[in-house]
Amino acid sequence: MPLGTLDRTAPPLFNQGQSALSKLIFFGALSLFLMVADARLNLVQPIRAAVGAVLYPVQWLALKPVQFVSGANRYFEDLQVAQRNEDTARRALMVQAERASQADTLAQENARLRALLELRQTTLAPSRAAEVLYDAADPYTRKIVIDQGLTQGVAPGSPVIDANGVLGQVTQVLPFTSEVTLVIDRDLSIPVQNTRTGVRSVAFGDASAHGGGLELRFMAANADLREGDLLSTSGVDGVYPPGLPVAKIERIERRADSAFARIYCVPLAHVTAARYVLVLAPTGTPASPPAPAHAPAAKKNEAKPAAKADKKTAERAR
């Protein structure tokens, strides 16, 4: 048989379709497009929410064995801690009994003074208790995941606190869980106020080798700041209620070649060991509409005709 008549094409068994290089280029371009679309246009958020809702039962089942083992260890640890706390509470009960008698008197005096000065009463923001499930998988951020989500009424931007102070802020809400960015994350900032001097500033998260704390930036080198000063929320951002404890100044570095001081702070909340937290509603959430201001005036206008009628009746009787 002449060689020119032979079929030199590959048999169907070895036909691989598109080359590996073309597949690599296509999927690489698709990945870049999805990343840019998610970062700029937030197009993947519905898909992420749907995947989170579908995977929530799997996460719940996977966490149950771990929670069971940790719960058993925690039970015995809590039992010992409870016994020690009982002894401490008994000793402190005598001191608190004496202070309780003075607290009622001070509260009544404070109420009279506020009524005299016509000061606005501080309103507490609505809150919801939540439990920390696990830390976020990204090692370059400081985030945690709690067991309250969109179905429980958690809103993005809600402040999160624990028993000691501000823990962070809700940055992503899924149907059954929420992601909380801690105050020590480098992308989070919080307006604070020095409780000793009243000076306002902004605390930025510092997740560097310093140890995961906070830093006050752009503060003058001659600012009235001391080590040990307490920082609380100022409430000027419309997110955090005022007066919540945030951090304590740990170290101040003043250099002659810089007009600004480097101020390192330690968060008061247990940012790395929180178990139960409280999710507050942002202070910018619209409240219920107040009662119409013209209602008392209407009652007053209704009372005037009645007074005139009584006056006419008295004149006729005379």
Q: What is the pLDDT of residues 38-78, one digit of tens each?
A: 777 777 778 778 888 888 888 888 888 888 888 888 888 88
Q: By percentage, how much of the chain surpasses pLDDT 70? A: 78
Asked if residue 3 has pLDDT above 60, the reply is: no
How far apart, in whole angstroms, are the C-alpha atoms of residue 219 and residue 192?
13
pTM of the shown model: 0.56
Looking at the chain, the whole-number percentage of residues with pLDDT higher than 90 is 24
Residue 98 has pLDDT above 60, yes or no: yes
pLDDT band of residue 150 (cuts 50, 70, 90) is: very high
Tens-place pLDDT, residues 250-306: 989 888 888 888 899 999 998 888 888 999 988 765 444 444 444 444 444 444 444
Instruction: Give the residue-averaged pLDDT of 133-153.
Output: 88
CA 230 and chain centroid, separation: 19
C-beta neighbour count of 114 within 10 angstroms? 13
CA angle 286, 190, 151 (to 5 degrees): 45
- Residue 305: its pLDDT value, please? 45
* CATH 2.40.10.350 in the chain, residue ranges: 127-280
Cα gap 193→236, rounded to integer Å: 10
Residues 112-133: what's their mean pLDDT?
68
First-last CA distance in the chain:
145
CB-neighbour burial class of residue 237 (10 A; exposed 0-12, middle 13-18, buried 19+)? middle
Alpha-carbon distances of 170 from 25, 160, 267, 280, 318, rounded to whole Å? 37, 7, 17, 10, 75
Specify the higher pLDDT residue, 303 or 27. 27
The second-level CATH assignment, the architecture, of 127-280 is Beta Barrel (2.40)
Please report, as a single letter, which amino acid is at residue 192: V
Q: What is the mean pLDDT of residues 211-228?
A: 86
Give the residue, 239 or 300, on which the prediction is more confident: 239
